[in-house]
Amino acid sequence: MFKWDKISWYASVIFIIGLVLGAINNAFLGLLVVAYLLRPTILAFGGGNKYADERQKTIQFQSGNIALTIVIVAMIVFSLIDVFQGKRGDQYNNILIIALLAKAVVGLIMLRDYKTAGFRSGFFFGLLITLFILFDSNFQPIGFLIALPGIALMAVSYFGLRKPMIAAIVFGVIGITAGIFRTIASFRNSIPLQNEITTIVLVSVPLIVTSFFFYKGAKTEIDAEPEPE
């Protein structure tokens, strides 16, 4: 049975604000979505446990996965329809990639084994970069040379299993530097903002998230060390 609790009040306030501001500008109607997703988002990140039992958490988890799958399939279908109509079929790609990236990152966070999560995210990010470059160059010798940064990221990820703090620093510096240089390049070359945001999310965010994972893994190891007598 549904119970009115603190989260319900917060969601109601956001919903009302969205209705009022939405009458002024339709952009504020997005607050209605925020109100609807407030409870499942809080529960997904481990908050508000006293306001939900295990059954409710399971329902929220399963419904969220099903909803994400439906949205992804719908975007793919709409893209195919656009292609058959002679239009560009890549307008949903940015949303699709960001959604999949967010699901992967959240899944790694839920592991609670931060060092392993850092290794997985860093290794597979380096692997994807390496494979993309190799396929783009048709596996020419120059392609292997260009792919060295991706191979280096995989090596640093493996090294991070033993020295997570060093790996955290390396990934953090690379991620922040890549984001800064990409932002500067976008202003000089007048790159569309949407494409720029997607590129930064796909490049800098995985690196910074990997840095965070290794940092948390290193901090956990330090906290677990016995106090000197």
pTM beyond 0.75, yes or no: no
The chain-wide mean pLDDT, for the chain, equals 79
Q: How far apart are alpha carbons 149 and 129 in whole angstroms? A: 8
Domain around 123: 110-229
Residue 214, judged by CB atoms within 10 A of its CB (0-12, 13-18, 19+), counts as buried
In a domain, 62, yes or no: no
In a domain, 167, yes or no: yes
In a domain, 19, yes or no: no
Q: How far apart are alpha carbons 86 and 68 in whole angstroms? A: 27
Tens-digit pLDDT profile for residues 16-26: 887 787 778 77
The amino acid present at 211, given as its one-letter code, is S
Asked whether 114 and 161 are in contact (CB, 8 A), the reply is no
In a domain, 137, yes or no: yes
Total domain count, the chain: 1
b/e string for 121-140 if b means 16 or more Cβ within 10 A?
Answer: bbbbbbeebbeebbeeeeee
In a domain, 175, yes or no: yes
In a domain, 121, yes or no: yes
User: Who wins on pLDDT, 139 or 157?
Assistant: 157
Structure tokens at 104: 């992967």
Share of the chain above pLDDT 90, in %: 13
In a domain, 200, yes or no: yes
Phi, psi of 25 (to 5 degrees): -145, 125
Question: What confidence score (pLDDT) does residue 1 get?
Answer: 45
Tens-digit pLDDT profile for residues 78-125: 888 887 887 776 677 667 777 777 777 777 777 678 888 889 889 988
Structure tokens at 70: 């439906």
Tens-digit pLDDT profile for residues 177-225: 988 887 787 777 776 667 777 777 778 888 998 999 899 888 887 776 6
Question: What confidence score (pLDDT) does residue 47 get?
Answer: 67
In a domain, 165, yes or no: yes
DSSP 99-135: HHHHHHHHHHHHH--HHHHHHHHHHHHHHHHHHHHHH
